[in-house]
């Protein structure tokens, strides 16, 4: 979902998620402090991949257009999801540091916040729990409950929210941890869920196991290193970005393989550099986040899986600029030499039901003065896709 911790962590899969997770068991401060380092690692890895392929092409069969952008405040989005059967998008927010979680509802058509008050989630105590965007932790289950899979140490706990009443319950997700624990000592760092949390992909550093939580079965295995799995929003396909030579750290050639769920049949395979992807529900398009060796220079492109064409790329961040006011208070700071970095990171991307476009929620870098003056703000963006 290198827009964040998750983008980088998915890339760590080629080096061994289990081995890397062992370095994170020394305390929660270390866990919360690794984001910057992982971000740099992920960016360098993916940048090399795109350079190797020369992916910056001038194929104009595809179009990608930024249609609208909304200011969603000085907290940071962690994840987002559509509420089935409605025009509501729910966004999980925090204080840009893994604390003070809340839920905010938006109209997915206008991007405007809905009038109901945000739902505070004091139960998700940032001193105890982490919510990692990369695991796709945020989903409506088939029975209409909004579910958040949070990490407590190396395992998951499950928070369930009634969005009508705001009531929050929590349990230890025993059945999920028991199944995942058969394949990983650190499931919270080695698992990606499908959108409705029916399926999961978990790695033991040797292979990926595709699991069905409704039956407890292993659907199929992918016996290769150097992959990143992505579930389609409708739960019918698994997209896997695979390195051709996972042990060759100078070669980022790869391919995307599409598997049918639940049977594991291969539906499609195309050559494409090792990437973080967001597939459309109908399987035709993927959004690729094109990284840069410089944080804040990442770009988005759309790939047509049927024809292979690639859209022109659009920047994710905005140019740095002199900070003129505190965005959270309106205070004039034009007489002080402060710079707003303009760096923005995708924390969630959801395709529209008709796959004509998608919505992203973008967090800023959280920078502020020691007096609490915030220079930047988070965004919600609407994009259209055409061919």
Nearest to 348 by CA among 385, 311, 310, 381: 381
Q: Give the H/E segment covering residue 169.
A: strand 168-171
Instruction: Indicate whether 291 pLDDT > 70.
Output: no
Average pLDDT over residues 230-255: 82
Average pLDDT over residues 208-222: 95
Which carries the bigger pLDDT value, residue 383 or residue 227? Answer: 383
Instruction: Indicate whether 179 pLDDT > 90.
Output: yes
The percent of residues in the chain predicted with pLDDT above 70, rounded, is 82
Nearest to 216 by CA among 247, 250, 183: 183
Q: What is the pLDDT of residues 293-327, one digit of tens each?
A: 667 778 898 988 888 888 998 999 999 889 999 98
Query: In the prediction, which pLDDT does 7 show?
Result: 39
Q: What angle do CA 95, 96, 101 make, to 5 degrees?
A: 40
pLDDT level of residue 370 (50, 70, 90 thresholds): confident
Query: In the prediction, which pLDDT does 141 show?
Result: 84
Query: In the prediction, which pLDDT does 266 show?
Result: 95
Average pLDDT over residues 162-185: 94
Angle of helix 5-12 versus helix 35-53 axis, rounded to 10: 60
Instruction: Indicate whether 201 pLDDT > 60.
Output: yes
Q: What is the pLDDT of residues 246-273, one digit of tens each?
A: 777 677 677 888 999 999 999 988 887 6
Cis omega (within 30 of 0) on the bond before 236? no
The percent of residues in the chain predicted with pLDDT above 90, rounded, is 48
Give the number of domains in the chain.
1
Cα–Cα distance, 199 to 235 (Å, whole number): 8
Cα–Cα distance, 79 to 75 (Å, whole number): 12
Q: What is the pLDDT of residues 123-140, one digit of tens each?
A: 999 999 999 988 899 999
What is residue 29's three-state secondary structure?
helix
Query: In the prediction, which pLDDT does 195 show?
Result: 86
Instruction: Indicate whether 210 pLDDT > 80.
Output: yes
Q: What is the pLDDT of residues 331-367, one digit of tens each?
A: 999 998 888 888 999 999 999 988 899 999 999 978 8
Mean pLDDT of the chain: 82
Average pLDDT over residues 187-193: 93
Instruction: Indicate whether 60 pLDDT > 80.
Output: no
Instruction: Indicate whether 32 pLDDT > 70.
Output: no
CB neighbours of 174 closer than 8 A, spacing ≥ 6?
none
Cα–Cα distance, 358 to 350 (Å, whole number): 5
Instruction: Indicate whether 72 pLDDT > 90.
Output: yes
pLDDT level of residue 121 (50, 70, 90 thresholds): very high
Contact 378, 74 (CB under 8 A): yes
Q: Residue 361 belongs to a domain with what CATH number?
A: 2.120.10
The dihedral formed by the CA atoms of 48, 51, 57 and 61, expressed in degrees to the nearest 10: -20
Backbone angles phi, psi at 227, to 5 degrees: -130, 160
Q: Which domain holds residue 204?
A: 5-386
Instruction: Indicate whether 53 pLDDT > 70.
Output: no
Query: In the prediction, which pLDDT does 272 show?
Result: 73
Query: In the prediction, which pLDDT does 205 show?
Result: 81
Which carries the bigger pLDDT value, residue 326 or residue 1? Answer: 326
Query: In the prediction, which pLDDT does 340 show?
Result: 87
């Amino acid at each position: 979902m290198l827009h964040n911790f998750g983008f980088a962590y998915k890339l760590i899969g080629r080096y061994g998620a289990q081995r890397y997770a062992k370095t994170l068991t020394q305390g929660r401060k270390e866990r919360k402090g690794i984001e910057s380092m992982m971000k740099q690692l992920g960016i360098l890895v993916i940048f090399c991949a795109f350079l190797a392929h020369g992916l910056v092409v001038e194929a104009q069969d595809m179009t990608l257009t930024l249609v609208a952008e909304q200011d969603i405040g000085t907290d940071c989005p962690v994840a987002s999801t559509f509420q089935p059967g409605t025009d509501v998008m729910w966004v999980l927010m925090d204080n840009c540091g893994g604390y003070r979680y809340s839920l905010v509802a938006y109209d997915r058509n206008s991007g405007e916040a809905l009038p109901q008050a945000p739902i505070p989630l004091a139960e998700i105590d940032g001193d105890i729990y982490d919510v990692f965007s990369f695991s796709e932790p945020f989903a409506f289950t088939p029975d209409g409950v909004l579910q958040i899979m949070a990490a407590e140490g190396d395992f998951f706990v499950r928070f369930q929210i009634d969005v009508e009443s705001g009531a929050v319950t929590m349990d230890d997700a025993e059945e999920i941890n028991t199944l995942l624990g058969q394949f990983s000592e650190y499931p919270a760092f080695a698992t990606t869920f499908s959108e409705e949390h029916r399926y999961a992909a978990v790695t033991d550093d040797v292979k990926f196991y595709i699991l069905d939580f409704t039956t407890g079965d292993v659907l199929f295995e992918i016996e290769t290193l150097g992959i990143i799995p992505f579930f389609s929003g409708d739960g019918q396909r698994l997209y896997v970005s695979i390195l051709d030579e996972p042990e060759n750290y100078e070669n980022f050639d790869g391919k995307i393989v599409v598997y049918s769920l639940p049977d594991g049949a291969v539906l499609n395979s195309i050559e494409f550099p090792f990437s973080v992807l967001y597939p459309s529900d109908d399987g035709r398009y993927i959004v690729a986040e094109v990284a840069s060796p410089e944080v804040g220079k990442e770009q988005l492109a759309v790939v047509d899986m049927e024809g292979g064409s690639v859209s022109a790329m659009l920047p994710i961040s905005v140019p740095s600029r002199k900070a003129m006011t505190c965005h959270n208070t309106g205070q004039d700071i034009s007489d002080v030499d402060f710079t707003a970095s303009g760096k923005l990171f995708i924390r969630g991307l959801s395709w529209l039901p008709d796959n004509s476009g998608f919505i992203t929620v973008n967090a800023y870098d959280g920078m502020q003065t020691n007096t609490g003056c915030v220079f930047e703000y988070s965004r919600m963006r609407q994009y259209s896709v055409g061919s």
